[in-house]
Amino acid sequence: MKRPPEDRGGELRALFFESANELLQSLNEAGLELESRPSDEQVIRRVRRAVHTLKGDSAACGFHKLSELAHELEDVLTPQVAEACGGELAELVLAAADSFGAMLAAYQRNVDPPAVEALHALIKRLLEVPASPENSPVVVVQLPAQFAWTEYEQLMISEAVHRGEAVYNIALRIDPDSLMRAAAFQLIRNVLHGSGTVIALRPEDNLAAASVEIVEAALASSQSVERLKQRCRIPSIVSDVRIEFAATAETSEHELLGDVLEAQAANFVAGAAENGLATKASTPGSAAAAVSEATLRVEATRIDAVMNLVGELIIGKSMLNRTLSEFDQKHARDPLRAKLADAMAFQARILDELHKCVLKIRMVPVEQLFRRFPRVVRDVAKQCGKDVALEVSGQNTDLDKSILDALAEPLMHIVRNSVDHGIEPADERLTAGKPARGTIYLNAYHQGTQVVIEVRDDGRGIDLARLRARAVETKLLKPEEAQRLSEQDALNLIFESGLSTASEVTEVSGRGIGMDVVRTVLDRLKGTVQVSSKKGQGSTFQLRAPLTLASIQTLLFRVGGRLFAVPLSSVVEISRIADHEIHRVDQREVLRLRDQILTLVRLDELSRLRSIDTQPVKKKHFVVVIGAAEKRFGLLVDSLVGEEELVIKALPAEIISSDLVSGASILGDGTVVLILNVPAVLSRLSRANPLGAIA
């Protein structure tokens, strides 16, 4: 075999890893389904296909241990074994998914894959079980069928599969005792046409049927295998029936992947499409099949590059606009002016479209994140010996891929915590008059320019007294401070590091790390996390993050002659106040706004910035009321500049190391504007004054 050049091989392997991870995901999903319906043939078939695809792909990439394991596993994945061993097959599938995952990780790091003896043993054991006669009631007679469809027919089949239809290969043996073969064939034909769309049929006409014994057909049908079997078993005409899912699309894709390796044909994109196809074809039951197959896998960095360029273009547009208005003033009568303005309006419109399109590329449905949680909940629940169901909604909510990735960890912590601490053991639930099985709800939806992800449980709720006590024990607060905290502030204690109310440290959670990660990550994303809880009824965590990190709507203002911006989403209101409305309470400036007392923040004092403004001190001030999570404060500003959509550029954190600023942007005239980090301002306030003193 010709060795492909290194880069081609590497590219293929990269493709393989990506598609393999999707296969693992579908294995996990199928494993969970098997747990609830141990002998569901469709699910078993799906698992088989996933394993089969994995086998072929890994062999093509030279990962032999993996393909051997997949091969062994394939043998066990039959309805007979499932029937014989019940729930154990689900266990096997999940264990296999884990082993495959470990092997893939090892291959990816270029080290030898770990030994999987335990899994081998399990496979062997399961294979031996069905040998006992009472467990194998049906002896399946394999009909010698090839299903050798022509290229055109194969295409039709794979198209039907991609449309989400179930396509079966059906083989029927015409009863040897039947005398009128042509008539029998006609009858079979009628039955087939009556049960779905016949894509292919052998033999093709009645005449040829006279000499054959076996009829083969490819049928797209919405009926179940059982039902089809019944219909096809025409007494005294058909003696044997064999029905299986048409696997044409999948096998041909395999060969393709192999061919590519050998012939070095097909470029990156085509390869990517192929791979996407293979995955989708192999999971017709899952949501993935519903997605159009015209999907490309593109490296995220390429999209980021485009994104950056579009950002620069937007800055360029504002530069042009400024130049045009200067030109306007100098040559108001020049006829060229109108032409220029037209051309620029046209360009601006297209640029706007382009910007939106690029933003959309980065958006992915939150389903990608949610789908790993059924497995997480199952595992954690099993570990703590609880019965927990997971209900997911809002999977189609879109958000930026990088935000989605960043949310994975915090969400994991919250869900694990909810299962471990939130949901009570079954007996406790029954005593409280709740169903024994606890439920965790995952939900996502858009709100303005933010995405909200909710984790709700119907467990025992958060024990506030215990939280306060822990805060005192860990010396985070003095006893009197702990008692003074409002309920909400006390709840927020769970995000402090080192604080855990778990009475004992379990493997799952309780070491007090974790929940502070949640807040750290959301601060970084310029998002917020809120928690609410009712004793005995459960808790809700709400994570809010911007839809995209690339650009935000901001409010521009000046303090001490310097320009700043805050995300518009955090601005609650803008008010104008006079000097005498500012009061001093407890060495702190406050402002009474209607029925609320607000802490006033002067940015120049908070940050020791020298004022470069020479304007006389005014009697009237603007106050921008800013809110993050439940907290509010008033920011005293000299003047408001306006709203602007800013393309955010990160500041090199290790050099600037200022938590007050979360990023910067460049305006049309080249001015650099800094974006204020609202959570950091808040935490400074609370550091200056102990927890909870902010209105």
Partner 1 sequence: MEKDLHIVGFRIGNETYGVRIGSVREIVRVPEITSVPSAPDLIEGVINLRGKIIPVMDLRKRFGQTEIISDKKNRILVVELENKLIGLIVNAASEVLKIPPSEVDSPGSVFAEGESSYVTGVGKLKGRLIILLDIAKLLQHPEYKRLEEAAEPVVTAK
Q: Which residues of the shown chain bind partner 1 in the complex (CB under 8 A)?
A: 312, 315, 562-563, 584, 587-589, 603, 605-610, 649, 651-652, 655-661, 664-666, 670-674, 684-685, 687-688
Nearest distance from C-beta of residue 628 to partner 1, angstroms:
17
55 vs 562, beta carbon nearer partner 1: 562
Q: DSSP of 517-579, one letter per residue? A: HHHHHHHHTT-EEEEEEETTTEEEEEEEEES-SSEEEEEEEEETTEEEEEEGGGEEEEEEEEG
Of residues 500 and 665, the one with the C-beta less far from partner 1 = 665
Chain centroid offset of residue 242 CA: 39
Q: How would you classify the pairing of strands 562-567 and 672-676? A: parallel
Measured from the CB atom, is 640 or 661 closer to partner 1? 661
Q: Where are the alpha helices (DSSP H) in 384-492?
A: 401-417, 426-431, 464-473, 479-484, 487-492
The least CB distance from residue 579 to partner 1, in Å, is 13
In this structure, what DSSP letter does residue 130 have? G
CA distance 651 to 47: 47
- Residue listed under structure tokens 């949310």: 407
Min dist. Cβ of residue 618 to partner 1 (A):
17
Neighbours of 341 (CB within 10 A): 15
Query: Least distance to partner 1 from the beta carbon of 565, Å?
Result: 12
Provide, rounded to whole angstroms, the least separation between the CB of residue 403 and partner 1: 22
Integer CA distances (angstroms), 46 to 157, 292, 402, 523, 592, in order? 17, 19, 31, 41, 64
Closer residue to partner 1 (CB): 219 or 674: 674
Q: How far, in Å, CA of 648 to CA of 348, rounded?
A: 19
Whichever of 212 and 582 has its CB closer to partner 1, that residue is 582
- Euclidean distance between CA atoms 591 and 294, whole angstroms: 57
Q: For residue 82, give the DSSP letter.
A: H
**φ/ψ of residue 493, rounded to 5:** -60, -25
Structure tokens at 304: 């980021």
Amino acid at 385: G
| Residue 401 C-beta: closest distance to partner 1, Å | 23
CB of 664 to partner 1, least distance (A): 5
SS3 (DSSP) at 142: coil
Name every residue whose Cβ is closer than 8 Å to that of residue 172 and which is 6 or more positions away in sequence: 188, 214, 215, 216, 217, 232, 238, 240, 241, 242
Smallest distance from partner 1 to CB 417, Å: 32
Residue 257's SS3 state is helix
**Between residues 120 and 684, which has the closer beta carbon with respect to partner 1?**
684
Q: Considering the complex, state which of residue 132 and residue 657 has its C-beta at the smaller distance from partner 1.
A: 657
> Residue 439 pairs with which residues in a beta bridge?
389
Q: Which is closer to partner 1, CB of 132 or CB of 301?
A: 301
Q: How many CB atoms lie within 10 A of CB 422?
A: 25
Contact, 567 vs 680, CB < 8 A? no
Amino acid at 607: S
Q: Which is nearer to partner 1, 49 or 562 (CB)?
A: 562
Closer CB to partner 1, residue 231 or residue 684? 684
CB of 669 to partner 1, least distance (A): 10
SS3 for 271-298 is HHHHHHHHHHHCCCCCHHHHCCCCCCCC
CB of 353 to partner 1, least distance (A): 22
Q: How far is 116 from 232, CA to CA, in rounded Å? A: 43
Q: Cα–Cα distances in Å, from 298 out to 270, 277, 570?
A: 11, 15, 34
Residue 320 Cβ, how far from partner 1 at the closest point, in Å?
A: 14
Nearer to partner 1, 610 or 619 (CB): 610
What's the min distance (Å) between Cβ of 349 and partner 1?
22
C-beta of 469 vs 651, nearer to partner 1? 651
Minimum distance between the CB of residue 611 and partner 1, rounded to whole angstroms?
11
Q: Shortest approach of partner 1 to residue 225 CB, angstroms?
A: 58
Query: Please, what is the minimum distance in Å from the beta carbon of residue 589 to partner 1?
Result: 6
Compare residues 273 and 306 and give the one whose CB is closer to partner 1.
306
> Alpha-carbon distance 371 to 367, whole Å?
6
> Phi then psi for 498, rounded to 5 degrees?
80, 5
Considering the complex, state which of residue 292 and residue 587 has its C-beta at the smaller distance from partner 1.
587
Q: Whose Cβ is closer to partner 1: residue 177's or residue 654's?
A: 654
Using alpha carbons only, what angle is made at residue 314 by residues 313 and 316, rounded to the nearest 5 degrees?
60
User: Distance (Å, rounded) from C-alpha 644 to C-alpha 552?
Assistant: 8
Angle (CA) 108-109-115 rounded to 5° is 85
